[in-house]
Copies of this chain bind each other. A is one copy, B any other.
């Protein structure tokens, strides 16, 4: 092969490696989304089988995280990528950490379902977190959508959704405290709702992080810890 052909060959291989990583991250995102769906269903319907499924699948998420991490590091070592490719690898390393932690929160909810099944307190449909759950699922979905389309235009929206999630979370906590004070028999049940709400609120934070990392990838600018005004400026560029 002449030099030009070798060059094309290497660049084709490099593209294939980057594409492979992208594909795996999106797969990981899909699994994590399903985990949240199933963990929350398990919680709302006291479905033990579903809870077990979520816990079992957590290992697969952990393995994917380690696998993607290693592939990114290998490409950094062998290919010395620059510009967008370098940012994509760095952002990916961070995104998979957030995805893994979302998976952890799903597993945490599932483990609680199994612990609760052994007590007498599991008798309710926990309807008060339905709205928070819907909001957080939508946020995660939008973040993964940003990632799939490599499009940062929704990041301001997603960050605004997070403010609403925090507000809804705060309102649930206040309701729960009132109900606990009214009747101590409500305490155990209220704490179950409290832990699950807390997990959901954290998932909202991680979803925000993911779209911040996508913004860094696409726009080349670190947008963590900046004001909404500055963020809008970065996005509009």
B-binding residues in A (CB < 8 A): 59, 62-63, 65-66, 69-70, 73, 76-77, 80, 82-83, 86-87, 90, 93-94, 97, 177, 180-184, 187-188, 191, 198, 222, 224-225
Pair B90/A86 contact, Cβ less than 8 Å = no
**A225 to B191 Cα, complex, angstroms:** 29
A166 to B77, CA, bound (A): 37
What are the residues of chain B within 8 A of A66 when measuring CB–CB? 222, 224-225
Cβ distance A169 to chain B, nearest Cβ, rounded Å:
13
Least Cβ–Cβ distance between A178 and chain B, in angstroms: 10
Chain multiplicity (copies): 2
A34 to B162 alpha-carbon distance, docked (Å): 29
Q: Are B97 and A73 in contact (CB under 8 A)?
A: no
- Would you give the shortest CB distance from A208 to chain B, in whole angstroms? 13
Q: Check A77–B73 contact: CB distance below 8 A.
A: no
Contact B62 A86, beta carbon cutoff 8 Å: no
- Cα A70 to Cα B69 in complex, Å, equals 19
Quick one: given A66-B225, A86-B76, A93-B94, are A184 and B180 in contact (CB under 8 Å)? yes
Q: How far is the CA of A65 from the CA of B209 in the complex (A)?
A: 14
Nearest residue (CB) in B for A74 is B86
Shortest CB distance A131–B (Å): 22
Pull 24 A–B residue pairs with CB atoms less than 8 Å apart, ordered by A: A59-B225, A62-B225, A65-B225, A66-B222, A66-B225, A69-B222, A70-B222, A73-B86, A73-B87, A76-B76, A76-B90, A77-B83, A77-B86, A90-B93, A93-B93, A94-B97, A97-B97, A177-B187, A177-B188, A177-B191, A181-B184, A181-B187, A182-B184, A183-B184
How many angstroms from the CA of A188 to the CA of B82 in the assembled complex?
53
Residue in B90, B177, B188, B191 whose beta carbon sits within 8 Å of that of A73 in the complex: B90
Query: Within the complex, what minimum Cβ distance (angstroms) separates A137 from chain B?
Result: 23
Q: How far is the CA of A182 from the CA of B198 in the complex (A)?
A: 25
